[in-house]
Amino acid sequence: MPESEHGFRQTTCPVEEGKVYEAKIEDVGREGDGLARIQNFVVFVPGTNVGDQVKVRITRVLRRMAFGEVVKE
């Protein structure tokens, strides 16, 4: 794995914009959005509660986190 100029390992993002993932809401963020982890990567999901098992479509990916929406079946 390549190292950055500061010696930290760069990790590739485990989620992709537009893809759907299964996730469990583990916590609630400051804004009240549900917080899930996909391969230890934080994903904020509005309209969810702790303990919800949901399918999440990723809508935006940033360096340290992503945002998603619940996929209704």
pLDDT (average), residues 44-73: 96
Lookup result for tokens 């390549």: 2
**Which tens digit of pLDDT belongs to each residue from 1-57?**
444 455 555 457 899 999 999 999 999 999 999 999 999 999 999 999 999 999 999
Per-residue confidence (pLDDT) for residue 11, from 0 to 100: 57
- pTM over 0.85? The answer is no
- Rounded to whole angstroms, the Cα distance separating 33 from 5 reads 34
- Rounded to whole angstroms, the Cα distance separating 42 from 36 reads 6
Per-residue confidence (pLDDT) for residue 3, from 0 to 100: 47
3-state secondary structure of 51: coil
Architecture label for domain 20-70: Beta Barrel (2.40)
| Residues 46 and 24: beta-carbon distance below 8 Å | no
Q: Could you tell me the residue ranges of all domains in the chain?
A: 20-70
| Residues 43 and 58: beta-carbon distance below 8 Å | yes
Per-residue confidence (pLDDT) for residue 72, from 0 to 100: 86
